[in-house]
Structure 1
Amino acid sequence: MSVEVAYRVSSTATGGGRDGHVESGPGRVKLDLQPPVELGGSGRGANPEELFSAGYAACFLGALRLVAKNAGVAIPDDATVTVTAGIGKDLVDNGFGLVADIAVSLPGMNQAKADEIAQAAHGFCPYSKATKGNIAHTVTATV
Structure 2
Amino acid sequence: MMNNSKVLYTARTHTSGGREAGVARSSDGHLDVRLSTPGTPGTGTNPEQLFAAGWSACFESAIAIVAQKKRIKIEGDVTLDAEVDLNFSNEDGYSLTARLNVGIPGVDRQVAQSLVDEAHQICPYSKATRGNIDVSIRLI
**The two structures share one fold, judged by TM-score above 0.5:** yes
Identity rate of aligned residues, in percent?
36
Distance change >3 Å, CA 69–CA 89, structure 1 → 2? same
Within the alignment, does 1:129 sit opposite 2:130 as a pair?
A: no
Q: Which residue of 2 aligns with 1:34?
A: 36
| Mapped partners of 1:22, 1:51: distance in 2 | 11
Distance in 2 between the 1:6 and 1:108 partners? 32
Tell me how far apart the structure 2 counterparts of residues 107 and 86 of structure 1 sit (CA, whole Å).
27
With structure 1 as the length reference, what TM-score do the two structures score?
0.89
CA distance in 1, matches of 2:54, 2:96: 15
Tell me the C-alpha RMSD between the 2 structures: 1.5
Q: Does 2:139 match 1:141?
A: yes
State how far apart, in whole Å, the 1-side matches of 2:75 and 2:100 are: 18
Name structure 1 gaps, 5 residues minimum.
Answer: none
The answer (yes or no) to whether the contact 1:36–1:44 under 8 Å persists in 2 is: no
Structure 1 segments, 4+ long, off by >4 Å, are none
Q: In terms of mean alpha carbon deviation, does 51-60 or 103-112 score higher?
A: 103-112
> What TM-score comes out, normalization by structure 2 length?
0.90
1:8 maps to amino acid: T
User: Equivalences for 1:73-92 in 2 at 5 Å?
Assistant: 73-90=72-89, 92=91
Q: Which moved more, 1:1-10 or 1:133-142?
A: 1-10
What 5-or-longer segments of structure 2 have no aligned partner? none
Q: How many pairs does the alignment contain? A: 137
